[in-house]
Amino acid sequence: MNELVPGGNLPLPGGALTLRVPGPFDVSALITDESGKVGGDADFVFYNQPTAPGARLRDDTLTIDPARLRAGAARVTVVISPADPGAPLGRLPAPTLHVTNTGGQPVTRFTPPRPQRETVLLLAELYRRGTGWKVRALGQGYADGLAGIARDFGVDLVEDATPAPAPAPAPVRSAPAPAPRSTHSTRPHVGSTSPTTDPTGFLGLANSARANAGSPPVALDPRLTSAAQAHASGMAAAGHLSTESRDGTSVYQRVSQAGYAYLTIGEHLVSGPRTPAEFVDYCLRTEKARQTLLERDFTHAGIAQAVDPRSGDVYWTALWATPLIAADLARTAAEVVELTNAERARAGLPALAVDPLLTSAAQAHSTDMVARAFYSHTSPDGSQPWDRAAAAGSRRRTIGENIACGQRSAAEVVEGWMNSPGHRANILKPDFTHIGIGFAGGGQNGTYWTQLFGA
């Protein structure tokens, strides 16, 4: 069974799926089409409206049959909130999503980083890709509860002041002066750059804010600006915020296609602000967006906007990145090894030695996942970790592998692995003696990491 990490995705088998989140949580689901918005009351499945075409909720278990969802459905987002309304999720046990197939066999499991003050958590999403469906781990929290959900899914949820169940949401078709909506993250990633002019004044505003926070200035890069413009235009054409365009191209793939290879990348995807000044002000007032704007490691940026001609909404894409050089790649791999060995030392285990052959196989797998757009221990040609190790020339008897995607740093990826029982078991396996690390950026999920162990 695969253990997902935030941002990770996995192809799903055909037929109905069971999604269960045990514990003191209310489970609900939002069914959306390619626009990312609900189409009406029936698209919200929760305790007071437990059924919809292709979806059924019973206690802590959600059953989804993608083939029976209403026409046009392209995504099902699984949401949890405390069973005790208003309680922060940080006071409750960490939620874990268990996904099983029609035969009851486990498909995958996902435990997000422990929430803190958030009162609602987007746990995962099932989404259509071609003729099949995939699941992606999210772990995105909202401190403002269901109001945050309303911003992203176009629902208008009214909650009673009494314990009576809240009425089902109605779709919001339009709203004057919409409040900023955003998805944003900072992820590690890859080239040389050249400055470009900034007629909007955005660069001066951003660098002023960075200077006030003690962060070095960034320079505009035409490749990042080109990727940002393509993505902002795609969001405006679709009429909703997303890291992917209608054709499935992610914002990270656009950066690579523009010729910018990165070690670290971050993005702001925002709608609402009308000017660069309003955009920067929004970023400074929002915790995660502010962290991305002020991140010290970034050296280059690109920004663009596009207007949805139907609604007049302005869609922004800002990209922040640090270019990849060979020394940085080696340093990042060394940091993963150091952090991994620190975890082994805490468990009383000997350190792992770096093996060049395992490193070659691990790097090839990360690069392959980006190049062939997959995320799995099994390559499209059917090869497994031990096959790849042998192909690199390794003769080690025992091979283990951890993979991850979307993490922003060596510390973040090792922490994610340690929070996952299956990955943790590999890191702390006494028999392993050697390790190799691979890292590549630019695929569907931004960054792809591989740990290959040998004994």
- Summarised one tens digit per residue, pLDDT across range 67-96 is 999 888 999 999 888 877 656 777 788 889
Q: What is the pLDDT of residue 58?
A: 86
Q: What is the pLDDT of residue 142?
A: 65
Q: For residue 440, list its beta bridge partners.
A: 448
Q: Is a pLDDT exceeding 80 seen at residue 165?
A: no
Q: What is the pLDDT of residue 1?
A: 57
What is the reported pTM? 0.51
Q: What is the pLDDT of residue 147?
A: 53
Q: Is a pLDDT exceeding 90 seen at residue 430?
A: yes
Tokens coding 131:
């003729």
pLDDT tens, position by position, 195-249? 345 667 888 999 999 999 999 999 988 889 998 999 999 888 888 888 777 777 8
pLDDT tens, position by position, 105-154? 899 998 888 777 677 888 899 999 888 999 988 887 765 555 556 556 65
CB atoms inside a 10 Å sphere around CB 173: 9
Tokens coding 165:
């169940």
pLDDT tens, position by position, 318-357? 999 888 777 778 888 999 999 999 999 999 999 999 999 9
Q: Are 362 and 450 in contact (CB under 8 A)?
A: yes
Please, what is the Cα angle at 17 between 135 and 244, to 5 degrees? 20
Q: Is a pLDDT exceeding 90 seen at residue 66?
A: yes
Integer CA distances (angstroms), 419 to 81, 125, 415, 427, in order: 21, 20, 6, 11
Long-range contacts of 349-353 (CB under 8 A, 24+ apart): 349/428, 349/430, 350/433, 352/432, 352/433, 352/434, 352/435, 352/453, 353/433, 353/434, 353/435
Q: Is a pLDDT exceeding 50 seen at residue 161?
A: no
Instruction: Between 442 and 299, name the one with better pLDDT.
Output: 299
Picking from 215, 375, 230, 376, the residue whose alpha carbon sits closest to that of residue 297 is 215
pLDDT tens, position by position, 11-63? 999 899 999 998 888 888 889 887 777 777 678 887 767 888 899 988 889 99
pLDDT tens, position by position, 390-424? 988 999 989 999 998 888 789 989 998 988 888 88
Assign 299 to helix, strand or coil: coil
Q: What is the pLDDT of residue 148?
A: 56
Q: What is the pLDDT of residue 41?
A: 66
